[in-house]
Amino acid sequence: AQSVTQLGSHVSVSEGALVLLRCNYSSSVPPYLFWYVQYPNQGLQLLLKYTSAATLVKGINGFEAEFKKSETSFHLTKPSAHMSDAAEYFCAVRGNTGFQKLVFGTGTRLLVSP
């Protein structure tokens, strides 16, 4: 079974500041991990994914995440926040074989102030 915990339902940063969104996972098998972003009244857009290759994963819009097995973490970071980054971010996990559903965290709403 897999599960994901996102710490902080809301994170506020100033424009230009570091963005750090936390995600811890639990999985009984080697996991695949994903970050998605959702803008108001839209679906989910894939930011990046970890599929057991490089532990540091780079995604779109300047985001990256590092898979740390010892800490069971997959935190999302961006060096410098932009106003357009304001959205809800979801971390998700799934098993790496067969038909496996995506299990999502509860989401973190990122607020960016000027």
Partner 1 sequence: KAGVTQTPRYLIKTRGQQVTLSCSPISGHRSVSWYQQTPGQGLQFLFEYFSETQRNKGNFPGRFSGRQFSNSRSEMNVSTLELGDSALYLCASSLGPGQVGDTQYFGPGTRLTVL
11 near 86, Cβ under 8 Å? Answer: no
Q: How many residues bind partner 1 (CB under 8 A)?
A: 24
The number of helix segments (H) and strand segments (E) in the chain equals: 0, 11
SS3 category, 57:
strand
The nearer residue to partner 1, 81 or 93, going by C-beta atoms, is 93
* Residue from the set 1, 28, 40, 42 that interacts with partner 1 by CB under 8 A: 42
Interface with partner 1, residue 99, by CB under 8 A: yes
Cα 81 from Cα 70, distance rounded (Å)? 28
Q: Which stretch binds partner 1 (CB under 8 A): 17-25, 45-53, 58-66, 67-75?
A: 45-53
Cα 89 from Cα 79, distance rounded (Å)? 16
* Residue from the set 10, 68, 69, 101 that interacts with partner 1 by CB under 8 A: 101
Interface residues toward partner 1, by CB under 8 A = 32, 34, 36, 41-46, 49, 51, 90, 94, 97-107
